[in-house]
């Protein structure tokens, strides 16, 4: 199994508070991704990174920011959490070569009250 961890695994917070989720990898893969998963919507890409300090937006990036200061860590921040951001968040990594496959972390369940 690919070495990907996410922290925290569960979090309950209140509307308006900042939240940061962490994804850590030990595979030295170039690409890292943040997805959210909601019933009926599958997996939707929030942001992704193709190298240290290189990031780009996905299809549902509003209300989220990311940072990658080291190859192994990719942080997702909700500046001011809203109830619509209640979801399960998955991090994924990829080598980024042709025919790349993505390996997913265990997920973080976030509840915004």
Q: Which residues contact 8 (CB under 8 A, 6 or more apart)?
A: 21, 108
Q: Looking at 13, 44, 65, 67, which residue binds another protein (CB under 8 A)? A: 44
**Cα–Cα distance between 83 and 91 in angstroms, integer?**
21
Beta carbons of 54 and 61 less than 8 angstroms apart: no
Beta carbons of 5 and 107 less than 8 angstroms apart: no
Of 7-15, 17-25, 35-43, 73-81, which segment contacts another protein by CB under 8 A? 35-43
Site map 53..92 versus another protein, x via CB under 8 A:
-----xx------------------------------x--
From the CB of 100, what's the least distance to another protein, in Å? 7
By CB under 8 A, tell whether 51 contacts another protein.
no
């Amino acid at each position: 199994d690919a070495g990907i961890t996410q922290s925290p695994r569960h979090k309950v917070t209140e509307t308006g508070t900042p939240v940061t989720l962490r994804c850590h990898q030990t595979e030295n893969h170039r690409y890292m991704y943040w997805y959210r998963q909601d019933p009926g919507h599958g997996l939707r890409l929030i942001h992704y990174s193709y190298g240290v300090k290189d990031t780009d937006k996905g299809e549902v990036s509003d209300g989220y920011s990311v940072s990658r200061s080291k190859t192994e860590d990719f942080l997702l921040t909700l500046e001011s959490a809203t109830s619509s951001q209640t979801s399960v968040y998955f991090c994924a990594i990829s080598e980024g070569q042709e025919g790349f496959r993505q390996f997913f972390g265990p997920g973080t369940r976030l509840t915004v009250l």
